[in-house]
């Protein structure tokens, strides 16, 4: 057998059979097989971290892949000479990769990082409590287990449910008799929408009137009093009220087209 092939086989055998992890770290930068062996040794740990972030929105296989990527990055960046255990160094690296995955891939809405963390914690707590209680836990039980206010649990649960908005054109498909889209049964047509602009211009024109003039307009058009009744109410003659109304309407008529 060629001496080079034999040497390569012996080297591979020695790497795979190594039990001294320090030697693997020493060979990491010069021999890719050492890095691969280190990754393989800690894959179970990466999977255990991924399991803590298991949720209905993401499959466990996808999360394990993300955690494995974090593990590879941790192996590349780890410095054994610092004296820190590798697991202590790798854990935040893997966790950060999983959190970025949830933040950037699984949600159509951007949520604060703290809220994402709480959603992940709640998913884990719900899974544990469901196993213990043989039923879905209440928000009070979840809050008690997490040691946080109930309001924070409710906020995180609502945020988790609404990370993926439902399209207004999507049909529910819950029954054969109801295939309407949310756009057809959510909201209604505002009957006052067409007059909104006119109301805004009218309000601006009314603001330019004196207090007495505003009162005359309200008595005439809101309470529908006659000119004589208005005259009695404000202490003027009916002729004075008539002239005042004509003057006010002329001014407002000039003001409204200008606003348009």
Q: What is the pLDDT of residues 195-216, one digit of tens each?
A: 777 778 878 888 888 888 888 8
CATH number at residue 15: 1.10.1740.10
Q: At what angle do helices 3-16 and 32-52 cross, to 10 degrees?
A: 30
Distance CA 260, CA 256 (A): 6
Q: Do residue 40 and residue 92 come from a single domain?
A: yes
Q: Is the dihedral of CA 173, 175, 181, 185 positive or negative?
A: negative
Distance CA 121, CA 92 (A): 15
Q: Do residue 92 and residue 39 come from a single domain?
A: yes
Give residue 206's pLDDT.
82
Q: Do residue 21 and residue 84 come from a single domain?
A: yes
Q: What is the pLDDT of residues 81-118, one digit of tens each?
A: 888 889 988 988 898 888 778 766 656 666 777 777 78
Residue 173 within any structural domain of the chain: no
Res. 49: pLDDT tops 80: yes
Res. 187: pLDDT tops 90: no
Residue 121 within any structural domain of the chain: yes
Tell me the pTM: 0.40
Residue 16 within any structural domain of the chain: yes
Domain that holds residue 244: 195-259
CATH number at residue 156: 1.10.10.10
What is the DSSP-derived secondary structure letter of residue 80?
G
Share of the chain above pLDDT 90, in %: 17
**Residue (of 35, 43, 3) closest to 18 by Cα position:** 35
Report how far apart, in Å, the C-alpha atoms of 201 and of each of 99, 198, 204, 217, 251 are: 51, 5, 5, 15, 13
Where is 114: in which H helix or E strand?
helix 113-133
Q: Do residue 102 and residue 131 come from a single domain?
A: no
Residue 170 within any structural domain of the chain: no
Residue 180: how many other CB atoms lie within 10 Å: 10
Scored b (16 or more CB within 10 A) or e, 196-224 reads eeeeebbeebeeebeeebeebbebbeeee
Most confident of 34-43, 196-205, 247-256: 34-43
Residue 176 within any structural domain of the chain: no
Residue 184 within any structural domain of the chain: no
Q: What is the pLDDT of residues 125-168, one digit of tens each?
A: 887 788 788 888 899 999 999 999 999 999 888 887 776 666 66
Q: Which residue has the higher pLDDT, 178 or 199?
A: 199
Res. 260: pLDDT tops 70: no
Give residue 41's pLDDT.
92
Q: Which of 143, 165, 187 is the last residue of a domain?
A: 165
Structure tokens that stand for 175 in this block: 């029954």
Q: Do residue 102 and residue 136 come from a single domain?
A: no
**Cα 228 → chain centroid:** 62
Q: Do residue 200 and residue 141 come from a single domain?
A: no
Q: Do residue 100 and residue 157 come from a single domain?
A: no
Residue 141 within any structural domain of the chain: yes
Q: Do residue 22 and residue 72 come from a single domain?
A: yes
Structural domain total, the chain: 3
Among all chains, which residue has been given the structure tokens 């601006």? Answer: 204
Residue 97 within any structural domain of the chain: yes
Q: Do residue 98 and residue 122 come from a single domain?
A: no
**Residue (of 15, 13, 1, 120) closest to 57 by Cα position:** 120
Res. 42: pLDDT tops 90: yes
Q: Which of 106, 129, 147 is the last residue of a domain?
A: 106
Q: At what angle do helices 113-133 and 139-146 cross, to 10 degrees?
A: 110
């Amino acid at each position: 057998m060629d001496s080079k092939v034999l040497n390569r086989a012996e080297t591979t055998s020695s790497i795979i059979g190594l039990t001294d992890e320090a030697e693997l770290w020493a060979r990491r930068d010069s021999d890719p097989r050492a890095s691969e062996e280190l990754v393989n040794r800690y894959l179970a740990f990466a999977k255990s971290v991924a399991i803590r972030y298991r949720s209905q929105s993401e499959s466990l296989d996808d999360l394990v892949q993300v955690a494995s990527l974090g593990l590879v990055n941790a192996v590349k960046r780890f410095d054994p000479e610092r004296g820190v255990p590798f697991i202590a160094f790798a854990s935040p690296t893997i966790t950060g990769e999983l959190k970025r995955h949830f933040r950037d891939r699984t949600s159509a809405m951007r949520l604060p990082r703290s809220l994402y963390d709480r959603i992940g914690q709640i998913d884990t707590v719900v899974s544990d409590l469901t196993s213990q209680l043989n039923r879905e836990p209440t928000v009070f039980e979840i809050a008690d287990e997490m040691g946080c206010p109930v309001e924070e649990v409710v906020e995180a649960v609502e945020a988790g449910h609404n990370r993926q908005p439902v399209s207004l054109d999507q049909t529910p498909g819950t029954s054969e008799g109801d295939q309407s889209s949310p756009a057809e049964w959510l909201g209604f047509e505002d009957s006052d929408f067409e007059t909104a602009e006119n109301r805004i211009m009218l309000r601006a024109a009314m603001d330019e009137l004196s207090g007495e003039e505003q009162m005359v307009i309200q008595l005439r058009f809101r309470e529908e009093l006659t000119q004589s009744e208005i005259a009695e109410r404000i202490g003027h003659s009916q002729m004075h009220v008539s002239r005042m109304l004509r003057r006010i309407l002329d001014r407002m008529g000039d003001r409204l087209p200008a606003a348009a």
